[in-house]
Amino acid sequence: MRKTILLFIAIALLVSGCNLNNNAAPKIPRDTSYDVIVIGATPEGIAASVSAARNGLKTLLVETHDRVGGIYTRAGLNTIDMNYGPDKELLTRGIFEEFYKAVGGDSFDIEKAEKVFRNMIAEAGVYLLLDADIGNTIMEGSKITGITINGVDYKGKRFIDATEDADIAAASGVPYTYGQEDIGHPERVMAPTLVYKLKGVDWNGVRRYLNTDSSKDTGANDRSAWGYSEMYRYKPKDPDIMVRGLNMGRQDDGTVLVNSLLIYNVNLLDEESKKNAIEKAREELPAIIEYMHNLPGLEKASLAGVMDELYVRESRHIIGEYRLTIDDVLENRYFDDAVVMGSYPVDIQSFQPGSYGLVMGKPKVYSIPFRCLVPKKVDNLLVIGRSASYDSLASGSARVVPVGMGEGQAAGVASKISIAKDMTFREMTYNGKAIHELQEILKKQGAYIKDYEATPDIVNSPYYPYIKKLRRYGYIHPGYSNDYRLEDAITYNEFISIVNPILADHINGFKWIPNDTNDRPIDGSEIIGLLKKYGIKVSATIPDGPVLYKDAYKILSSLF
């Protein structure tokens, strides 16, 4: 009889754990001492808290806003940046996959997403504290012992920073870079977006147009639409605004969320600057929507509102035990301490007016090492999400939410191991047995970790060292094809598109060389003459006739 009762309870728990669309209420915290405190009820923070609680840890999830879900719910990013392997297999499994299935796929209703998140939190037994006023971190040497919240000191054994900007890490003395500071450009940061809501959209008209136009890069289905490159021709009234093609997500109430409006010159660590950016975007929207009325399916669209906060793509990049590099991503690197897999394109969004962003390449599959979650200087803290320890260019891929949720799941399991073994996170990174245990538990709990041995052929080229040097600073970017065109002749305009940023970074007051309307293959003598104007003598051998890309890479990498 006892076995029957236990079996019934186990089945009931299993069923309730899979039902993420009920109306369970998260636990309200009644005391101030926890095994794990997770700061930030972002998707990544929710994954971390759920993972920690499922592994038997008393877990508190703290959020400064009045709702959970981060950029998915408060910023309106309702399309998921998916990560698939070479055979179209889902790479980010485990807790992320639970969420993905519960919301119905890669484009979702944000109210439903919030409900799913709250039920995940509740069913795992996580304590949730919203509208929190977070004060000081309490330090003892290199460890955080507590955080002041609403004027009360909350104690924890382990802490997980899931805030979008790594606020807790920064407040605790963890070093970091901002934007592209790591490659010499702290003024460059991917522009944030204000997502806005439309009503009156003829969705059938949208689908007909985008599925039958001449572009292979546009399309639409029941939930999502992407396209309308005509919007690039819109001339903003405000010079700090740019409008891209429209990424649209249909909501359950028939309204449509639109991700297309970029705002420049925003200090993403300053709340007042972000508020001003939202106001700028609001003022521009009536003219944007009027322009849309010329497009099929959008003739009667009108503004139904804007999201509460900006969709921010990058700000801080903390410095951890290891920093993921652009080479790691594009060489499809697997690490012995891998905790999550990724494959999203290296998508560097526009950072200044007049630029349209760039794609540095498309990895086949790579891994995030546990060391990227372990910050310098603080021993019992993990940082997850877009502000983890990535170089700025690598973050163009690793910043996406599914990867961050995988990191969150790993952080919850790592907290269990760290406490049980009385071992700091930093000690764990250099303990092979602890890392193996972490990976095995993650796999048992649904995560996917695999060495694909997918090193690309380009790394064997004798010209690859020159490619790596130029790519490290974002000077070359082969796009989705990963084709560096080694044997193709480089044209004049293609050559100066690379040489311009190099010279601008190394010559004070350099004025960019303009394109030539008569573009043609460039030859060696023309390159010598071009560089001679700036007093540059090239050490690399320059061919006499037309220059191939492989030779151009060698020449250009010798300039710095």
Predicted TM-score (pTM) above 0.75 = yes
Between CA 430 and CA 369 the distance in angstroms is: 12
What letters, b where the CB count within 10 A reaches 16 and e where it falls short, cover 496-515? bbbbbbbbeeeeeeeeebee
Between CA 377 and CA 143 the distance in angstroms is: 9
Pair 133, 112: CB distance under 8 Å: no
Closest CA to 338 of 365, 370, 375: 370
pLDDT of residue 140: 97
CA–CA distance from 67 to each of 43, 74, 373, 417 (Å)?
12, 8, 25, 30
Pair 357, 348: CB distance under 8 Å: yes
- Sign, CA dihedral 417-419-420-424, equals positive
71-173-144 Cα angle (round to 5):
85
Pair 21, 118: CB distance under 8 Å: no
Between CA 403 and CA 365 the distance in angstroms is: 12
Question: Which helix (DSSP H) or strand (DSSP E) does residue 316 occupy?
Answer: strand 316-318
Give the distance between the most distant pair of CA atoms in the chain: 92
- Sign, CA dihedral 534-539-545-551, equals negative
Other CB atoms closer than 10 Å to residue 477's CB: what's the count?
18
Question: Which helix (DSSP H) or strand (DSSP E) does residue 2 occupy?
Answer: helix 2-18
For each of the chain's 560 residues, which pLDDT tens digit applies? 444 444 444 434 443 444 665 677 899 999 999 999 999 999 999 999 999 999 999 999 999 999 999 999 999 999 999 999 999 999 999 999 999 999 999 999 999 999 999 999 999 999 999 999 999 999 999 999 999 999 999 999 999 999 999 999 999 999 999 999 999 999 999 999 999 999 999 999 999 999 999 999 999 999 999 999 999 999 999 999 999 999 999 999 999 999 999 999 999 999 999 999 999 999 999 999 999 999 999 999 999 999 999 999 999 999 999 999 999 999 999 999 999 999 999 999 999 988 888 999 999 999 999 999 999 999 999 999 999 999 999 999 999 999 999 999 999 999 999 999 999 999 999 999 999 999 999 999 999 999 999 999 999 999 999 999 999 999 999 999 999 999 999 999 999 999 999 999 999 999 999 999 999 999 999 999 999 988 888 888 888 899 999 999 999 999 99
Long-range contacts of 172-175 (CB under 8 A, 24+ apart): 172/137, 172/139, 172/144, 172/377, 172/378, 172/381, 173/139, 173/377, 173/378, 174/318, 174/319, 174/375, 174/376, 174/377, 174/378, 174/381, 174/383, 175/318, 175/319, 175/376, 175/377
- Number of helices (H), then strands (E), belonging to the chain: the values are 16, 19
**Which domains does the chain show, CATH number per domain?**
26-182+315-444 (3.50.50.60), 196-306 (no CATH), 457-557 (no CATH)
82: CB partners within 8 A, 6+ apart:
90, 92, 106, 344, 402
Pair 243, 230: CB distance under 8 Å: no
Q: Which residue has the tokens 């100066």?
A: 496
Between CA 225 and CA 433 the distance in angstroms is: 47
pLDDT of residue 21: 58
pLDDT of residue 203: 98
Between CA 411 and CA 37 the distance in angstroms is: 11
3 state SS of 529: helix
Closest CA to 453 of 366, 324, 323, 340: 366
pLDDT of residue 17: 44
61: CB partners within 8 A, 6+ apart:
26, 38, 41, 45, 46, 49, 121, 126, 127, 128, 129
pLDDT of residue 1: 44
CA 303 distance to own-chain centroid: 28
